[in-house]
Structure 1
Amino acid sequence: MIETIKILTIQDISCYGQCSITVALPIISAFGIETAVIPSAILSTHTAGFTDYTVRDLTEDLPGILKHWEKEEIFFDAIYTGFIGSIEQFDYIIDIIESRLKPDGLVFVDPAMADHGEFYNGFDQDFADKMGELCKIGDYVLPNTTEACYLLHKPWKEEFTKEEMLEMANELSNFTKKHIILKGDTHKEGKLGMIVLDKDESSTEFVYNDRIDHVSHGTGDVFASSFVGSTLNGKTPAEAAKIAGEFTKKALEETIDDPTHTYGVKFERVIKYIPELLKI
């Protein structure tokens, strides 16, 4: 009997809007990975394009969940963190990772806190510095350029040169045990790229996908979730980055012609391509 791979994802639930757990759970599951969740917060909607949304912080629930799982001897092959509800949650999340991850397990950190040069609502540099501590126990860290700049205390700008991206990736290597996937390289015309820094192989590689001229909330979560699913299917960091980029591109292509669909991407329509993408 083939042993089931089990992953825990820790991030928020946005009750409406395609992001965080409502993206991670179906996508990673579709890659054949058994997926458990710990919600960091519950929001009525996500925070982009909506006003007067409700937020319930679930920090107080984390110790009780951990205590119960310790009693039940529940362990995971991987843990993937996304949107964290408050700065107070970091220590609890680190405790969960140290307690519930198998000895040879993997940690994926998507430092979901900023984009387009600005923090998400409620986050600041103190939050970013605490995120840096979490990143340092990660095997895979997946920042965009804004998040990278906050982690490194660098100024952000709209575009970075290839040389600047390489420099930033090398500096970010101090924030991970193994691999950095730095998203947001735009220096190649018609392409959207990322740098994959692989500490195991002492290599740095640019990975590109065709650029879709459409901005949508939640694409970072779609990318990270499909990256996690690909990696747990045995793909190298560069292969997983390519697959995740293609999956996200396909989801954008399904969404771009629908002006009413402004709150996410139609990733559900491209789940059927996962077996094909895993052949890359």
Structure 2
Amino acid sequence: MKKVAVIQDLSSFGKCSLTAAIPVLSVMGAQACPLPTAVLSAQTEYPSYFCEDLTRAIPVFTDEWSKLGASFDGIHTGYITGEEQIRHIFDFLEVFYTDGTLLLVDPVLGDQGKAYNHFTDGLLEQMKVLAAQADIITPNITECCLLAGSSYDALHRFADEKNYLKAIEEAGRQLQQETRAEIIITGINPPGLQAAVGNMYINDAHTIYSSVSYNGKSYSGTGDLFASVLMGGRMRGMNLEQSITLAENFLSAAIQDTDLSETPVVAGVNFEKYLRMLL
């Protein structure tokens, strides 16, 4: 069985991060080995939450797993609390990232043109170094612009779909050339197409844009679920194009169910009953 080290937070409410990654990877036939960066009573969009930072635990996990002689087919990073954590992750990669390991970096930095509360310039610089080591990077538009040094506001001056997507592709292409990774930019909602949301896949040879129907709501954890399906697909031997299609179909079903049940967006999507789609 393939093993994936999943380095991100554990939030009890919000169906995101580890509570999303573990079931997805498990049903897709991979063993998820969690390394929690923080433990939260609820994800940070809730009006109140408790957060226990686990920065000091990361080198301990690294040492203990090294004593076990552990090895990983995949390493998946997500929410990182700050610069010190990311330095510990570099040490983790020194031990466990080999030629046979797939590194997927979900650079959790911001969304909707705004940085998250934990963002610092130092974290961004460290995230750029981490992204340069990655095989796959899954930024949203905000995160792609931050990593590529592009202007988010400039992208949104375009009022037509064609030029808007072209501008996003240019930012993604710049990031791809700097990192040589495969890039999937998520959550693209072109102007004039309020009922569609898409993902743009960029590698060194081509760009592929795909979209699905969109209800206008942004649910907790959908990016984490998407990235987890990509990792699970690659562990299964699927290519990224196949994995993206599977992730889109899975999330579309879960989001439609969630919309019908009028679940608050902060609570995440009703994905559990659709895990069968990933078998």
* TM-score calculated relative to the size of structure 2: 0.90
| Equivalent residue in structure 2 for 1:271, among 247, 270, 275 | 275
Residues 185-216 of structure 1: CA deviation (Å, up to 9, x unaligned) = 333834322221123xx222112223333221
Q: Which whole-Å CA distance do the structure 1 matches of 2:59 and 2:174 have between them?
A: 34
CA contact (8 A) 2:16 2:225 kept: yes
* Equivalent in the alignment of 1:17: 14
Q: Which whole-Å CA distance do the structure 2 matches of 1:210 and 1:125 have between them?
A: 35
Show structure 2 runs of 5+ residues with no match: 159-163
1:1-280 → structure 2 map (5 Å cutoff): 4-51=1-48, 53-157=49-153, 159=156, 161-187=164-190, 189=193, 190-199=195-204, 202-262=205-265, 263-275=267-279
Q: Which whole-Å CA distance do the structure 2 matches of 1:79 and 1:153 have between them?
A: 26
Identity of aligned residues (%): 30
Q: Which whole-Å CA distance do the structure 1 matches of 2:65 and 2:226 have between them?
A: 29
User: Offset at 1:175?
Assistant: 4.6
CA contact (8 A) 1:114 1:147 kept: yes
CA contact (8 A) 2:148 2:172 kept: no
CA contact (8 A) 2:28 2:278 kept: yes
Q: Which whole-Å CA distance do the structure 2 matches of 1:170 and 1:93 have between them?
A: 26
Query: Is the partner of 2:174 in helix, strand or coil?
Result: helix
Q: Which whole-Å CA distance do the structure 2 matches of 1:105 and 1:79 have between them?
A: 7
CA contact (8 A) 2:24 2:228 kept: yes
User: Offset at 1:260?
Assistant: 4.2
CA contact (8 A) 2:176 2:203 kept: no
CA contact (8 A) 2:4 2:32 kept: yes
Q: Which whole-Å CA distance do the structure 1 matches of 2:188 and 2:263 have between them?
A: 28
Residues 196-252 of structure 1: CA deviation (Å, up to 9, x unaligned) = 1123xx222112223333221111111111111122222212221121122111111
CA RMSD of aligned residues (A): 1.8
Residues 33-82 of structure 1: CA deviation (Å, up to 9, x unaligned) = 1110100011111101322x111111111111111111111010110001
CA contact (8 A) 2:132 2:181 kept: no
CA contact (8 A) 1:115 1:147 kept: yes
Show structure 1 runs of 5+ residues with no match: 276-280
Q: Which has the higher helix share?
A: 2
Residues 171-192 of structure 1: CA deviation (Å, up to 9, x unaligned) = 1113534301112333383432
* TM-score calculated relative to the size of structure 1: 0.90
Q: Which whole-Å CA distance do the structure 2 matches of 1:30 and 1:14 have between them?
A: 20
Q: Which whole-Å CA distance do the structure 2 matches of 1:151 and 1:254 have between them?
A: 34
Query: Is the partner of 2:13 in helix, strand or coil?
Result: coil
Number of equivalences: 269
CA contact (8 A) 1:8 1:78 kept: yes
Paired letter, 2:113: G
User: Offset at 1:136?
Assistant: 0.7
